Every structure is written in C-alpha cells, then in structure tokens.
Structure 1
Amino acid sequence: MAGPGRRRLRTALTAAAVALLAALALAWYSPEAVLRAEFARQRWLAGATVVQMQAAGHRWAVLEAGQGGAGPTVLLIHGFVGSKENWLPLIRALPEHWHVLAPDLPGWNESQRLAGADYGPVAQAERLAAFIRRLPRPPDLVVGHSMGGQLGGLLAARHPELVPRLVLMSSAGVAFEENAFATAVLAGDNPFAVTDRAGLRRFLALTFADPPFVPWPLDEALVRRRRANGDFEQQVLDGIGRGPEALLLQSLLPRIRVPVLLLWCDRDRVIDASAAAVFAAGLPEARTLVLPGCGHMPLMERPPQVAEAIVGFVASPP
C-alpha cells in the first residue's frame, strides 16, 4: 500500500498534469487570451495600467504609468501597425516617478474605429491635439515612433502650445534614401502585411536587426490580429506613405521651433537613417542620436539607451 507521501506526490503530479492540459486547451482554443495574459504580465512589470478616455469622438485605450509622480509627463505615440504595448519595454526603463501615457491611436487595437472615418496623418494629429486638451495639463514631452513621429511632428507644427519638446524616433514624414521598403510602398504594396506565421517572421526580420522569437500561441494571436486589420492597414498606409499628406510634415518643419531629439538606429531597413539628416536640415533646433546595431524598433531593441537619451534630453536646457 502506498504511503501518505507517495499519495501526496501522485496527487500533486495529477493536479499539475490537469493544469498543463487546461493551459494547452486554452492556448489552442483562444491564442488571443494567452496574448492578453502576456500583455498583462508586461504591464505589471512596467507598473502600468490601461485606462479609457474619450476625445475627438473616439474611445481611447491608454497605457498609464507613474500617475501622481513628481516627474514630467510624457506622451508616447506608436507607429504604423504598432500598439501601446510596443512601449512597455521603454516604460520599464524610464524613471518610475515619470508620468507616462501611451495610447492606442484611434482606429488601432483597443481604441475605437469608426466606419468611414479618416485615419490619415492630419486627421490623427488633430485627434491627438484633442486628446492632449483633455489631459489636466499638456505633456512635457511628446515621443513619436515611425508613423507616430509623423503625427507628433504635425502636432508640433500645427499646435505648438501642446508640444514643449519632441522626440522623433525612426520617424516618417520626409523623403529619404530609397530602400526596398520605400520602393514597395510607392508601388502600392504593404511590406508590413501579415497573413500567416511566415509573414509574421518576415515582418519581424524587416523591423528588427535581431528579430525576437515569438512562440506559439502568441504568434498565432498576432497573426490573427494582423490578418483581421489588413484592409485598414492598407488604407492608412496610402495616407502616410504615398498620399498627398505623406510629405506634408517636411514642408512644415521650419514651424517646429521647440527642441527636437532625432533618434534612429543605423540598421533601420524601414525608414533609412538618412531621414534624420533631412529632419535636422529643416528643424530650427534639433540634435541627432544614431544608435548602433539596431533596426526600426529602438524602443524595443534598445530601451535602456533610448531611456537614457530621453532623460538627458528632458534635463538639457533648450
């Protein structure tokens, strides 16, 4: 007859097996639930929560960290096909007492999308202006990545009172040395399109110098999200990459008279680092930092270095 110790071990092993089978079943039937759980884990590590706001006729889902802290308020604007969760590695690296807001832009992810609405650069920049006006006070710093940089630049040019300082990170909105990505966009394609797991791997190889490994079922959940948004992505890319507003920001650069930090990676295969020189030539007050060995996602590939640069930029005199 088995002793009490062996029975307890057998019971524990059975419970563990049942829990494992339940987890596998959840992953199989709902990869999205596993992805949401992973984002919740990352939010916990970053000390962030998701809050809901209303602005510009849309409901916004916003990551918030450091509320009530004595530090500056920072607004983070994600890029094309990006999300508020892209900023979590950087939020973890920023000082804990900084107040950080990172919304899903209207139309994207957990924020509201309205049928027939314009989600091009100018319309989104105006929505961001409305969003900022709903805050207790304007942010001390606006940081925009890729498409988000284009929107942040338009915001600073059209509403300078709302943007005291600006970081343009791998930013769209100006002409640069044409690469394979730009050629495809100008031809009407979407090089970021993802319809299967192989497409997700291609997307990561394009945007990261050292692509991260995304295990199942997280990869399946991401693929399903991207596949469902394919038509919307194409519509937005038409506006930011090749429509009449695609290079509007370049003509407005002299109107941006606040301090600007241009932050790029030297292995960016999406928006070539030559764009930084175009921005610098048109901006009255700009400094440039190019990080080595990373691609289009410095906020995720180099969060400590990006955080250090941002902290130094905020502390520097104008």
Structure 2
Amino acid sequence: MRYTRTVPLLAILLIAAGLLSGCSRQEIYEAAMRYERSSAGLVPDTISVDGRKIAYLHNEDMHDGDTIVMLHGFAADKENWLRMAAELTDQYNVYAIDLPGHGASNKDLDRAYGISDQVGYVNDILDALQLSQVHMVGNSMGGAITALYAATYPDRIKTATLLDPAGIFEYDSELVGLVLKGENPLVVSKPGDFEKLVDFALEKKPFVPWPIYSVMEQKAIANHAINQHIFLEIRDSGYQPEFRDSIENIRAPVLIVWGKQDRVINYRNADVFSARIPHSQKVILDGVGHAPMIEVPEQTATMLRRFIEQPDTIITADAD
C-alpha cells in the first residue's frame, strides 16, 4: 500500500515551500497532484478516441494480473480515485478514466451524455486501450454507466462494483428536493459553491489544503456550462424503466457499496439494484456519504480486492 498518512503533512510542506518560493496556487496544485499520482503508482496519459482526447491514469509499472477500470461520477474526474487506487496498483493494472465532458478529456457541448451514450463511449475507450476483459468500478453516474455496461457487454466484464450508483431513484434524496426547488449543489457556478458541494456530497471529508481547494473551485466554475449540460442529459435516467430492465441481464458478479449518509442518492436504492441484478450483494457503510473511494479509500479498496479475488464470498464492511 503506497498511500500513507504522511500525505497531509507533505501537502502542507509543498504549500509552504510553494508560498516561500513565490509559486502560484495552480503550481502548488499541480505539484500536489503529481505527488498523489506518484504515491498511487499512477501516471497520466491521453488517447484519441473518435477524434477526441480522452485523459486517463494508468500504472507506472504494469503487472501480469487483472485490470481494474474506474469510472468517476458527475462533475468529477479521474483524480477522485487516487487514494483508493494507491491500495490496488501493487497487484492490479488500474485505469482511471476522465469520461467525456470531464477532467482533461474533451468537453463538447453538442455531444450526447445520456447514460446509454456514455456506455458506448466507454466501450470505444476500452477498445482504444485494448482492454478486453476488466473489473469495472463506478461511482454515482459512473456506477450507472458500469451497471449498464455490464448488461450491454457481458463478455468484457469480470466483476462490476457500484459505489452509490445513479440510475435508480425510487427513494428520493435530499438532492431531489433541492433540484425541485431550483437549487443544485452539484453544479458549481460561483465562489463558495465548491465548499458547499463538498459538504453536501461527503460525510467524511479528507484533508485538502486551501490552495488546492481554491484551484479545484476555479476548475469547477470554468466547467459550469458543460456540467449543467451533462446534468440535464442524465437527470431523468433514474426514472427510465429501460435501465432497470437492462440491469437484470448482468451476468457478472456485482458488488453494491453505499454510504448510509448519502445526500445525493438515497442509500435505500441499493435494495432496488440488489433485487434487479441476479448475482449481486450489497454493503451499507455507516458514517459515509456519496463517495466511499474518497471518504474511506482503504476500506473500499479492501472490499474490492476481496470481491475480485473471491466474488462468491459474502463481503462485509470490515472485509480483510
């Protein structure tokens, strides 16, 4: 396990050194990201898919073992997986992808971003990366994509792990009430919104120094238009019966992990996913919000590793 508790201290030292040397907040942010990627054993890369740039992270040192593909959620990016990936790259080949419209990948306002559209994009990306069979992990929107991908391309999925997935909203959440009132904490539009987003989405907030948060907020504000566009494209996906019917066709083992304090998507929707997906099991994490891979990365990685190695074994929150 490469990631250690020295990271917050090192981040502080990076910031202090940056301030003393006159570095900008952007330079401090980039230095911190380089350190986190290195600690996770990952390096950034890009590939052209259908004439569009796709950014991703992959192992610095590749293995002969299995491959894990990680799909982030709405308005997020590949860096969301760094702390969890740090627990896995010693054994697995990890690919964390910036989905189209996100991160450093192309952001086209005239492109379709429905869940089924994104499943097609992911398949094209895996083709371009020459990844034939993978373990796929997705959070939120990425969880819905993972579930539908597993149903659509069963021969390419060894296991699927859904972390607080979108796609089914039978039980309303706090977010639904806010959106109905015309508020959306997931779309950052002005200074101060990013902190509200973090507070809303995460129950266990990791240490992130102010200069880094500041740059992340700037990026989120700059992405307001594309994020608003994508949100409108995926907003009603959880009310489409086709999605529920499709996931009944998943053949691979599926692990559903949900934070009980998720304010974005109600954790009780885990029961609906579990009832629909034939070979599935669920784990509810008390004290965790919408992003287990950020909030409890070691615990989430441990469950994933156990599930990949023994998919027929009952996985619990304290899996070892």
Show the counterpart of 1:41. Answer: 35
Deviation at 1:187, TM superposition (A): 5.2
Distance in 1 between residues matched to 2:16 and 2:174, nearest whole Å: 45
Distance in 2 between residues matched to 1:278 and 1:301, nearest whole Å: 24
Deviation at 1:168, TM superposition (A): 0.7
Taking every aligned residue pair, what percent have the same amino acid on both sides? 29
Query: Contact 1:129/1:162 (CA < 8 Å) preserved in 2?
Result: no
Q: In the alignment, is residue 215 of structure 1 matched against residue 205 of structure 2?
A: no
Query: Contact 1:254/1:283 (CA < 8 Å) preserved in 2?
Result: yes
Map 1:8-87; keep pairs closer than 5 Å.
Answer: 23-24=18-19, 30-65=24-59, 67-87=61-81
- Is the partner of 1:217 in helix, strand or coil? helix
Q: In the alignment, is residue 165 of structure 1 matched against residue 159 of structure 2?
A: yes
Q: In the alignment, is residue 133 of structure 1 matched against residue 127 of structure 2?
A: yes
Select 1:181's aligned residue among 169, 175, 190.
175
Distance in 2 between residues matched to 1:184 and 1:38, nearest whole Å: 34
> What TM-score results when the alignment is normalised by the length of structure 1?
0.86
Deviation at 1:158, TM superposition (A): 1.6
Deviation at 1:114, TM superposition (A): 2.8
- Is the partner of 1:53 in helix, strand or coil? strand
- Is the partner of 2:171 in helix, strand or coil? coil
Distance in 1 between residues matched to 2:143 and 2:55, nearest whole Å: 19
Gaps of 5+ in 2: 1-13, 313-320
Select 1:280's aligned residue among 274, 277, 287.
274
Gaps of 5+ in 1: 1-18
Distance in 2 between residues matched to 1:238 and 1:20, nearest whole Å: 37
Distance in 2 between residues matched to 1:227 and 1:271, nearest whole Å: 23
- Is the partner of 2:129 in helix, strand or coil? coil
Query: Contact 1:27/1:217 (CA < 8 Å) preserved in 2?
Result: no
Deviation at 1:292, TM superposition (A): 1.9
Moved more, 50-59 or 121-130: 50-59
Moved more, 287-296 or 75-84: 287-296
Moved more, 118-127 or 63-72: 63-72
For residue 145 of structure 1, what is the amino acid of its counterpart? N
RMSD of aligned Cα (Å)? 2.4
Show the counterpart of 1:255. Answer: 249
Select 2:309's aligned residue among 292, 310, 315.
315
Deviation at 1:222, TM superposition (A): 1.2
Structure with bigger gyration radius? 1
Distance in 1 between residues matched to 2:16 and 2:221, nearest whole Å: 28
Deviation at 1:24, TM superposition (A): 3.1
Deviation at 1:294, TM superposition (A): 1.1
